[in-house]
Amino acid sequence: MIVAGLMLLAVGGAALVRSVFRRAERGIRLAAFGVVGAAILAIGLLAGAPLAAVAGLGAAALWLWLMPDRGSSPASIWPAAGLGALSALAVVVVPAGYGVGAFGRVEIDSPLGVLSLPAVILMLGTLSYLLEAANVVVRAALERENIAPDAEPGETQTVVGPEGPTVMPKLGPGQVMKGGRLIGPLERAIVFGLTLAAAYPLLAAFIAAKGIVRFPEISRDGDGGDRAEYFLVGSMVSWVQALSAAFLVWWGLRS
C-alpha cells in the first residue's frame, strides 16, 4: 500500500504546487517542489521504504512532463490510466506490512476501522491526487473529445427560451459552467467518502442532484450540444477517478 500511496501523494503534491505557485517566481516554484520532494523522501525513509519514495518522485516528474495544466497534454489521459494501473499493481504485489520502518506497528482508529501506517499514506495519497491532478485529467479528456477550447470570436448560436428563439454569442465550454476547478475536487471528495462509507443511496442522490442543478444550463444548450457534452464528459471522468480511488483504498484495506 505504501508504494501506491507515495506515488499518488507525490503526483498529487506536485500538481498542487504547480497550480498554487503558477504565477510565482521560478525560484519560489522550485523551492515548493523541493519541499514536496523532501517530504516524500522523509516519509519513505522513516517508513523504511526508500525505493517507494524514489518511485513516487519519478512518477511525479513524469506526470508534470506528460500532463501540463496549460496547453495540450501530449499523452492525453493515458498517464492517469498508467498511474492507476501501477497503483493497483503495487497494492496487489507489495505486502501490506511493507513500509512500517522506524514507527513500528502504527494503528489509527477511523470510521473505516483500524488503519496501519501504509493505509494512512494510501488514503492521503488518493485524496491529494483527487484535489488537483484529477482536474488535469478531466481537462485532458475534454481536449481529447475536442470540447475544451472556447468558441471562436463572433460565433453565434440560436437559443430557444420562454420568449422564443434568440440569437446570442456562442460560449465555449471553457466559458460556461465555471467553477469546475473548485467544484471538481469537492465533488470527488464527496464521491470518494460516500463510496468508502458504503452510503450508496446518498451517493446516488448526490449524483442526481448535480444533474438537476445543471439541467437549466444544459436545457439552453442550443444546436451545438457543447454544454451537455462538456457536463457529461467532465462529470463522468471526474466520478470514475473518485470511484477508482475509493476502490483502490478499499482493496488495500482488505489486502
With the CA atoms of 140, 192, 127 and 178 taken in that order, what torsion angle do they form, in degrees rounded to the nearest 10? 50
158-203 pLDDT tens trace:
444 444 445 544 444 444 445 556 788 999 999 999 999 889 999 9
Q: Are 70 and 148 in contact (CB under 8 A)?
A: no
Hey, where are the domains in the chain? 2-144
The pLDDT-based confidence of 39 (bands split at 50, 70, 90) is very high
Q: Cell 451537455 sits at which residue?
A: 228
* Continuous H helices in the chain: 2-20, 26-46, 50-66, 78-93, 117-128, 134-144, 180-196, 200-219, 226-253
Q: What is the pTM of this model?
A: 0.82
User: Coil, strand, or helix at residue 213?
Assistant: helix
Nearest alpha-carbon partner for 118 in 6, 240, 231? 6
Q: How many CB atoms lie within 10 A of CB 141?
A: 22
Q: What percent of the chain has pLDDT over 90?
A: 45
227-237 pLDDT tens trace:
677 778 888 99
The pLDDT-based confidence of 71 (bands split at 50, 70, 90) is low
Helix (H) or strand (E) holding 156: strand 156-161
Q: How many CB atoms lie within 10 A of CB 200?
A: 10
